[in-house]
Amino acid sequence: MSDQAASLLDYYRKNHFNPVPIDLATPEALASHAAKRRNLYSGHLGIPLGLLSGQKVLEFGCNSGENAVVLALCGAELTLVEPNEQVHQRLRDVFEVFGLTGRLAEVSSLGIDDFPEDGKFNLVLAEGFLFTLPNKAELAAKICRLLAPGGIGVISFNCRFGGLIELHKRLALYRACELSGAGFRSEESLAIAQELFGEAFGRIKASRPFAAWWKDLLVNPFYADRYLWSYGELLPVIESAGAEFLSTSPRWFAEEAMRWYKDVPAPGGRNAAVLEQWRGRLGSMLTGKPARPGFEADGAAGPEVVAGLEELALAISDYTDGVRGLEAVALRGPLAEWLAAARDENLAGLAACLKAVHEALPLEDAGAFRAAVKAGGLADLWGSAYHYLSFSRGDGLL
């Protein structure tokens, strides 16, 4: 395991929490979990679960195997790679409880860097950690190389653009702590976060307590620009490794909704179409909501707007990491103009909220700043921070 991955694991261990606890204690809990995973795999990512019986599946970073259980129930033959050997016994126990031990081909403690490439798999997954590694692009390409012809790969990542709202929540908390003299990762910080965002958090269907969300996103040292990813960075990597875009979660690519099946794009054409449509859907990416009918064009953004978003994400990251001062954080230029011109109610609402946050940043009174953030409505906004990308390797099918 790389040093960076060990640091992420150490962060979870030190703070004594599981970022996404999964309850499989009852048949009802298993059924609920399985329904969510099937919707992700089949409904969003294009993985035909009914055809997994007897197929070779490799999962990196499987933790204690609760997600892998769903694949085992589909009949898959599983190779599970988890460097944290402390969870291996629980993993085996989980499979034994459900009578699925026979589906475990191997449980390995190797890191993804060290895992050999001499085998090929029909499905390869790396969920929840790949984006934290310094050589993440190289490892994404390795996943492509591990795919058998026709195989499907799955990567999850924190999206640099879809997470704009979450970055601003981190920004607001950091500034509030700075004005109050509180440590960013202190108990006082948790109390301030609860004041700013707790009520709104309680209104969503969260599967974890507020404190876990605070630790895993608002103050997590791994929620920083160098650990964020984007489709613009990922798609060229998988294309150069011989794979092509299949689908995403959230599902936003609709280029082929009315395409005739014989109208097959040239190699790489689908990846290019994805990136083109991504720019047209940027508004929905930021807000986490579809544009209102008739206002879809509001979400289209030129390269100067995209560059402005990248600049802002980096500035927020640097400020909350203590690398640069508050003066680096600014909503300006083509990005500010694009947001100000929005007519779609979701994008216009986001624009107004971000403007309120940025206007509050120079305030020197802690109470006044918190009141301004709360009045601006940031707490009730949720973007599309966490994404899944699936891709397929089509070579060698003929």
3-state SS assignment for residue 2: coil
Nearest to 47 by CA among 122, 100, 119, 120: 122
Lowest mean pLDDT among 62-66, 72-76, 179-183, 240-244: 62-66
Tens-place pLDDT, residues 281-327: 999 999 999 888 877 777 788 999 999 999 999 999 999 999 999 99
CB atoms within 10 A of CB 360: 21
Identify the pLDDT of residue 297.
74
Average pLDDT over residues 251-274: 83
Average pLDDT over residues 257-277: 83
The superfamily CATH assigns to domain 3-158 is Vaccinia Virus protein VP39 (3.40.50.150)
> CB of 195 within 8 A of CB of 370?
yes
> CB of 107 within 8 A of CB of 59?
no
By CB atoms closer than 10 A (0-12, 13-18, 19+), residue 398 is exposed
144-178 burial by CB neighbour count: b if 16+ within 10 A, else e?
A: bebbbeebbbbbbbbbbbbbbbbbbbbbbbbbbbb
Strand duo 386-392 + 147-158: pairing: antiparallel
Identify the pLDDT of residue 295.
75
Q: How far is CA 186 from the centre of its chain?
A: 25
Identify the pLDDT of residue 162.
96
Tens-place pLDDT, residues 29-75: 889 899 999 999 999 999 999 999 999 999 999 988 899 999 999 99
Cα torsion angle, 306, 309, 311, 314, sign: negative
Rounded to two decimals, the pTM is 0.91
Distance CA 260, CA 237 (A): 28
Identify the pLDDT of residue 2.
37
For 207, half-sphere exposure in the C-beta direction (CA atoms, 13 angstrom radius) is 10
Question: Where along the chain do its domains lie?
Answer: 3-158, 164-223+299-380
